[in-house]
Structure 1
Amino acid sequence: MNAASAAVATALTFVWLGMVLAISFLEAPLKFRAPGVTTPIGLGIGRLVFRALNRVETVLALAVIAAVATGAPPLRVGVLTAVTALLLAAQLTLVRPRLNRRSDRVLAGETLPRSRAHLVYIVAESLKALALLALGISILTAR
């Protein structure tokens, strides 16, 4: 991979990974432990934060794809880029809409059991974080 494309792709990948780790695995679970944060307030905050995160992730994904595509990457970098982008796309098109519908119901006052869609999102987010880590390392070690 050429040096300029690799540098840009690496930086973007690790910024993206940092955002996912900070928001999905730190902010999201902790907000519900804060004093006075009710489930509706936590859901409202979560929706705003994840909407913003997903918009930034989309921009970062497109930028990583562009940097990788212009850098003559080895196959493993191309595959990991595609896997990461597909995981994000699946979250945004398949899982997030279900979670939004569910949170609409909770915010309207319904009491619902734990959500399987939430568990699917957590698994996808974990896989995406691992894919981002693998992608960043693969770009750094690409020759």
Structure 2
Amino acid sequence: MNTVAQHVVWFLPLLWLGMVLAISFVEAPLKFRAPGITVPLGLGIGRLVFRALNSIEAVLAVLLVLAASIVIPDTAVWLWLGAAVMLLAVQILVVRPPLTRRSDRVLAGEDLPRSHAHYWYIGLEVVKVVALLGLAIAAAP
């Protein structure tokens, strides 16, 4: 069981990292460049995709904490894991609610300027990428 947990602590951060890179830094920006995609359509797709991504990230975070509790790794692993979990929590609990309210207004037909919350979300994603990479390196066998 301990060996499985050790592999989980190393592998899941890389899986999580790949998902964040693919969705946040590839899919999200490209979606609005696709032919025929309007802002409301892009927002609707984005809301679904990021809700799913954040749900999967939360499951991965729980699995990582459980696996780390079994392995009891170095302090560096706990620090990187704590950073990744906290960044995800801030994104879900602090940044996403205003983004959701704003997208509700845009979908209702309001014409609004770009939200500063988007920049916060992107900034947190960049820092989360660093945390996940640090976690994977610290947990590597």
Tell me the TM-score normalised to structure 1 length: 0.95
Instruction: Give me the whole-angstrom Cα distance separating, in 1, the residues matched to 2:32 and 2:93.
Output: 26
Unpaired segments ≥5 residues, structure 2: none
Shift of 1:3: 3.9
- Cross-structure match for 2:68: 68
Instruction: Give me the whole-angstrom Cα distance separating, in 2, the residues matched to 1:73 and 1:39.
Output: 45
Instruction: Give me the whole-angstrom Cα distance separating, in 2, the residues matched to 1:106 and 1:88.
Output: 25
- Number of aligned residue pairs: 140
Dislocated runs of 4+, deviation >4 Å:
none
Say what the alpha-carbon RMSD is for the aligned residues: 1.0
Instruction: Give me the whole-angstrom Cα distance separating, in 2, the residues matched to 1:119 and 1:31.
Output: 17
- Cross-structure match for 1:52: 52
Instruction: Give me the whole-angstrom Cα distance separating, in 2, the residues matched to 1:116 and 1:46.
Output: 17
Q: Which amino acid aligns with 1:124?
A: L
Per-residue CA deviation, residues 87-127 of structure 1 (Å, 9 max, x unaligned), is 00000000000100000001011111111000000000111
Shift of 1:131: 0.4
Unpaired segments ≥5 residues, structure 1: none
- Cross-structure match for 1:20: 20
1:1-143 aligned at under 5 Å gives the runs 3-140=3-140
Q: Which amino acid aligns with 1:60?
A: L
Tell me the TM-score normalised to structure 2 length: 0.96
